[in-house]
Structure 1
Amino acid sequence: MAGLFTFLHRNYKASNPPIVPKSSDPIRFGILGAANIGPDALFIPARSHPEVVIQAVAARDKAKAKAYADKHGIPVVLDSYDALINDASIDVVYIALPNGLHFQWALAALEKGKHVLLEKPSVSNATEAELLFHSPLLSKPGAPVLLDAVHYNFHPTWQYFMSQINQTDVVYASHTVLVPTGIIKPTDIRYNYDLAGGAIMDLGSYGISALRAIFAAEPESCVECTVKPTVPPASELCDAEYTAKLQFPGGAIGEIRGTYDVPWLKFRLPNLEVLHRPTEVPDDSIEPNQVKIRTRKVVFYGHMFATIYNRIDTEDTFEVRNRDDQQPIKKWTEKISKSAHSFREIGMEQPGETYWKSYRYQLEEFVQRIKGRSGNGIWVSADESIAQMKAIDMVYAKSGFGVRPSHERQVS
């Protein structure tokens, strides 16, 4: 019963965090697009951050922007995207537009000296990523901060998960995410090919990012990719379901699987599974002519929404063998399960509360960078963002649906 109360209390506070007094010189955010992700990704996290104020919003439809502002308590509604990035009172531009508009407006905001928090996937393709993240605007003295918002990377549970992995010994990893039928409609912006839509760009980006981190390497090739197209009126070049196999250095294999169309009764939590090769481990209690072998499996449930629920199962299978002929003497399994919601729970002294969402941890580090502070060192580098889009392009090229196009039409 206590566990249920803790679960409910944590998730209530995650959506209703305490509103703290703001500093005398806060960082003022402007929002491009009246996106559904705005509350979870920024507005709610901002409530508990003393140095963050949500100042303004702009959308293509000003009436929609006004309704959005009224709903979320945003004080200023501006006439256009251009008006927002030119507003001198705005310090940061948060871009939650369709994927295909990210590059254009991130670059435009940087040109105006604004810091940019950019929803993932950062852009439409690797060409755009190279141009954006290696822009000379980012290398000048006092350059603005640009962050590819891979939010799960900032949550303490991800750090614990990575501590359970010996990256040089990983031989296989997989990521699976299933979205029940009906949640994503055929008219959803995720299915707009011209705006760089597709399930791999959305769900698949989590899996590709996670695999790259697990292997601490970039995929050498996509050896298989099967996709299921969407149904009208969605674009036939947008995937609603995918399975892909990527080869990493040393012959290691990573797989991603995802769908927007699983029956509700078959829904399962998103999960990552990591398998290690058998390795010899020291043990003074065994005989000199014996060896102890460990084979590790790590499974992470819920990494995409770790505040709601997360669990990491670390299962070690041990075997004692004769050193000479490798004949088994004894075999057993040890399993540890752990959930964590703060750095304190994994033995680290860093800011955070158990009700902080991954987006709140991300916001903490983003503000630290803007303020020129050291923070906890967790970040998404420019090169990582570029490599991520190269891997996504690789998968789409193998799928036959092709790399997502750049969006050339100016939209304000």
Structure 2
Amino acid sequence: MKFDRQARTVDLDPRDPQFYNDPYSAYEEIRAHTPTFFWNQYGMWCFTAFSDVDRLLRDKRFGRQILHLMSREELGLEPPKPHLSDFDAVEAHSLLELEPPAHTRLRTLVNRAFVSRQVEKLRPEIAALTHATIDRFAADGAVELIKAFAEPIPVSVIARMLGVPQERCADLLDWSHAMVRMYMFEADAAAEHAANRAAIEFADCLTELIAERRRKPTDDLLSHMITSERGGDRLSDAELISTSVLLLNAGHEATVHQTGNAVKAILENGLDHRALFRDDAAAAAAIEESLRYDAPLHMFTRYALEDVVLDGGIEVRKGQEIGLMLGAANRDPRQFADPTSFAAGRADQANVTFGAGIHFCIGAPLARLEMQVSLPILFERLPGLRLADTPRYRDAYHFHGLERLDLAW
């Protein structure tokens, strides 16, 4: 890493294994000079201070979408790539990429299924699924936890909520992984073609399912979205597909990463799982600390919707992006006492892991519940759980999750 103190610029390759396996050391080194820096590889100003990140997530002068205000030519962007047309079509109505009023309309139509009181009803089902998943490897004495545990539980839960057949879960994982690679730094042509193929297959699957639910609605989220209306307004098929893809992808991807990150943190820090998970309240506090301690998403970008001058004289022109460093903000020493320590139930508990403002993660209650239920069962069922090998993170910054987590007991 090269740092120009006067210009506040950083040269740091996000695909450097030393960095993506331990981004926190780099964050601390950068923060020793400045909480805000210009990341040359991304070409944008990035913010590490908790107060800045929290504020800018809510700042209405920034948004996730800019093409409704500026043309691609004005932004200096290449024209759309024909081999990404199907991927772009799926993304076109994504809640994550829209701004009001389109975002408000879509979110209102799907939000009801994800409020905490609705999600809480899934607790017994998640517990049963967790036990059934552990049953498959409990007698083996060793497991690679990401593939065997962290992936199947959240994808199964969100598939059941939406009404996607369980036998398609393996396809959902493949499609999700291919599409999420598009958000990696400098995704190559192979990743683009794979993402477009995944978008086609994903959309075809959902198109068939939507037609089936229109003929015969059931008590699932897809049926609810089909029949939901507000003032006579309903979701189109394209909106149903985009929203379902987002919910399936976002509904499990971050939970997979956070599950692995949390188990790794507990084992590496030698924490007593009986104390961590002694009751539901303690489990909720432990999961909240794991979300702060090692978040599954480390960067969230936003466009300036107008010319903005920020603290420190930083000028951001309309159409330029900024990077909000969620993982760094969660370990800001000005916000947290001893931020590098895992302290469940800390008095200063807060995090920006699920974002803030209008794009706060709609699936946050579900992700929290899944981990509050599944992790206590995992540690209870497998006494003596320990690391069998050094955990390795995926080459996928700004998503921060383990490639492997080999455990034994």
More strand by share: 1
Between structure 1 and structure 2, the one with the greater Rg is: 1
Q: Identify, as 1 or 2, the structure richer in helix.
A: 2
TM bucket normalised to smaller? under 0.3
Structure number with the bigger relative contact order (C-alpha 8 A, sep ≥ 6) is 2
